[in-house]
Structure 1
Amino acid sequence: MSDYILEIEQLNVGFKDKKVLKNINAKFKRNTISAIIGPSGCGKSTLLKTINTIILEVQEAFVSGQILFDGRNLKQIKPETVREKIGMVFQSPTPFPMSIQKNLEYALKYYGVKRKDREEIIIEKLKVTGLYEEVKNSLHESALKLSGGQQQRLCIARALTIEPDMILLDEPCSALDLKNIMNIESLLLQLKKKYTIIIVTHNLSQAKRIADETMFMLDGEVIEFGETGQIFDNASDRRTRDYVSGSFG
């Protein structure tokens, strides 16, 4: 088994005549947290959506190059299988307008998990995300009644129910207060023991706190990708040094 769960080779992505990602090459190690940083509009979110293959649902999108997941080309894997293995959590919490229980059952039903197993899985994932004690008496109430931080943890729990190998998070803490940010960060540090995590963040301090590796993107290109300490303290590219020092962005 390779040390790398995800390998991106000569990836180009765009819409109509506009190229958004340009010749992306990167390898992501198993059971690590990788942060993707860079100014708004540099292609961070597009990269996540391409890994998860959501980008292919956009009619005008074009993708070239290849992404290997566990050695298999994503182009050769059915989208529903990709999304079973690679979960995604978005910037704003996206609970379905239904009960907490039904939110967590949704993917389990889709992938054919037997009813007798679903309850055990739901309780386990609620405990993993620290939600169980908070919601155990309100599982049949609307998930929309939860606080923003609880909703985001519910979305992470929902992504975990089908046991993905990788979790992609697109600025999951941008709308949360400090307490909930700390809750999410603590959760991610625990989750990396079992899952590989890629997180897009504008919060440079967050990247420094939780990421094993950090990728800096600019204008659709990967400028530098390496150990987080090296990126923040001894970056080889001037543009990276300028960004992490706050000179621009």
Structure 2
Amino acid sequence: MYRPRVIPCLLLQNKGLVKSVQFRNHRYLGDPINAVKLFNDLRADELIFLDIRATAENRTIDPELVRQIGDETNMPFTVGGGIRSLKAIEALIKAGAERVCLNSYALENPAFVQQASDEFGASTIVVCLDVKKNLFRKELVYSHAGTKSTSRSPLEWAKQMADLGVGELVIQSIEHDGMMGGYHLELVRKIAEAVPVPVVALGGCGTFDDVQKVVSEGGASAASAGSLFVFHGPRRAVLINFPTQTDLRKLYLTS
């Protein structure tokens, strides 16, 4: 028996915590360190922090902020944003991150994924796939916080990343992001069935039932979400929350 992980995903912009809808309309939520303290109390499994402006601003997620997160958190956490070198990965790991998440630079230089995996171990390297349909309704991987289309198929890109030694894949649907209507089950299932590495579903989660469904029907190894864990009620009042241990027990599966 094992329980799939449930992971709050927190977006950073100007060192503040924000939440988007379809990668647009970013709403400021507050101080990320305060959120970490609350997730500590709520016993979250892990956290993911993504600096959504780092690539566009030609910089890496701030190692000092990562150090502050590491000093405060009681759980493993992954960080991403603008990572383009082994030196940057080393600095972030030394600051306290357990894993780093690559995206745009992996698309630009796939060999870097292999280099990073060889240097730091596969379990340290995560790649996030931001996916949406282009004008011809074909699903493609996007880079630069969803602003640049690539010609890459999500399935083929996921397979290539697995072949290059990535330890985990985050599959994020841009069109589902912030909509709270459920994950893109078909996309998650297709990739989870095709790759030998854990798949984390992200984008669209609105209820704990969505978490259960993406695990049981989508084959995800973990479910990540933003809105579900930072909003409450139909007016989306800001309230950091996490499932109870009783709810989490409903996720146990036979291995």
TM-score, normalized by length of structure 2?
0.38
Structure with greater Cα Rg: 1
Higher helix share: 1
Highest RCO, 1 vs 2 (Cα 8 Å, sep ≥ 6): 1
